[in-house]
Amino acid sequence: MKAHTASLVNAIVLIAMGLWGYLASDTPSMTALIPVFGGALLLPMTGGIRRENKIIAHVAVVLTLILMLGLFMPLQGALERSDTMAVVRVALMVGTSLLAMIAFIRSFIAARRARTSA
């Protein structure tokens, strides 16, 4: 999967699952919207990633990594509460973030190889 596609999928999943989690909560917290805001920041970066803009791609990687790491505490909390739907939502966000990170790393490696062989 190309990096821009993986980032787009990740942004959509972060927005959708974050909103679902916020709206499904009995006591919603503004911190539950962090993935939504992160996805909203990643969404417009997709075009720059597609055009292989290095600065935008690196910003997207850092943001994706921060979001992915930040989701481990909510995942742990959902597991402790035995809240199956919350576990599914957060695990899906972590999974798409991980896939996006892998796609970014693979594209960075391919770009470096292309530069050194040219």
Q: Is the sign of the CA dihedral 71, 42, 5, 20 positive or negative? A: positive
Name the pLDDT band for 8 (thresholds 50, 70, 90): very high
The pLDDT of 107-117, averaged and rounded, is: 90
Name the pLDDT band for 26 (thresholds 50, 70, 90): confident
Position 27 pLDDT exceeds 90: no
Q: Which helix (H) or strand (E) holds 40?
A: helix 34-42
C-alpha 101/C-alpha 88 separation (Å) is: 20
The pLDDT of 39-46, averaged and rounded, is: 96
Give the residue numbers spanning the domain of 24: 3-117
Position 118 pLDDT exceeds 80: no
**Structural domain tally of the chain?**
1
